[in-house]
């Protein structure tokens, strides 16, 4: 750790590119190696299937002692993601552990898309809708996916 980028970040970045997680692409920004452009494909059999969601991920100075900052850039209808793209996920807050990695964080976010949790909401109105009429909520989520997250060829 001689002033530059910690070796752990270099290693994680290399591994993300050498052995990418299926359905997830994370590419460091050209001018800032701590800032990642992330594409997450909507998981199969979820209302987000067929969509590609853009996220930003930033590794703060204290990483890995503090959690990466992650936010959805693509609008998404999900009870645990608010309109600013902020994500309600315990491992991004008090359950963060330096033993976790960028890879595990993105996998957890992908899992959250498969299993929305309206009992642990960040977006109250969405959560309410999800509880009152789940079928309709899923329909809205599908529409939003088509409208805001159209599938594009993933950047290589």
Catalytically annotated residues: 88
95 binds other proteins (CB under 8 A): yes
Element (H, E) at 70: strand 69-72
Closer CB to other proteins, 83 or 146, in the complex: 83
Query: What is the nearest approach in angstroms of other proteins to the Cβ of residue 95?
Result: 7
Which residues have C-beta within 8 Å of that of residue 31, sequence separation ≥ 6? none
For residues 1 and 40, give the distance between their C-alpha atoms in angstroms, rounded to a whole number.
31
In the complex with other proteins, which residue's Cβ is closer, 15 or 75?
15
Please give the Cα distance from 12 to 35 (Å, whole number). Answer: 13
Which of 26, 38, 88, 113 is close enough to bind other proteins by CB under 8 A?
88
The continuous run of DSSP H or E covering 27 comes out as: strand 24-28
Residue 7: how many CB atoms within 10 A of its CB? 10
Pick one of 24, 25, 105, 122: the residue that binds other proteins (CB under 8 A). 122
Residues near other proteins (CB under 8 A) are 1, 6-8, 11-12, 62, 64-66, 82, 88, 93-95, 97-99, 121-124
């Amino acid at each position: 750790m001689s002033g530059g980028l910690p070796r752990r970040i270099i290693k994680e970045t290399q591994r993300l590119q050498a052995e990418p997680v299926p359905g997830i692409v994370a590419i460091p920004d050209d001018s800032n190696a701590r800032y990642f452009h992330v594409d997450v494909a909507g998981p199969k059999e979820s209302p987000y299937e067929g969509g590609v969601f853009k996220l930003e991920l930033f590794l703060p100075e204290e990483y890995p002692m503090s959690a990466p900052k992650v936010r959805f850039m693509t609008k998404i209808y999900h009870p645990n993601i608010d309109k600013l793209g902020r994500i309600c996920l315990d491992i991004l807050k008090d359950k963060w552990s330096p033993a976790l990695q960028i890879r595990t964080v993105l996998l957890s976010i992908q899992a959250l898309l498969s299993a929305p949790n309206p009992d642990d909401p960040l977006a109250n109105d969405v959560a309410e809708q999800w509880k009152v009429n789940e079928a309709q909520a899923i329909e809205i989520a599908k529409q939003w996916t088509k409208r805001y997250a159209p599938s594009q060829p993933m950047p290589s």
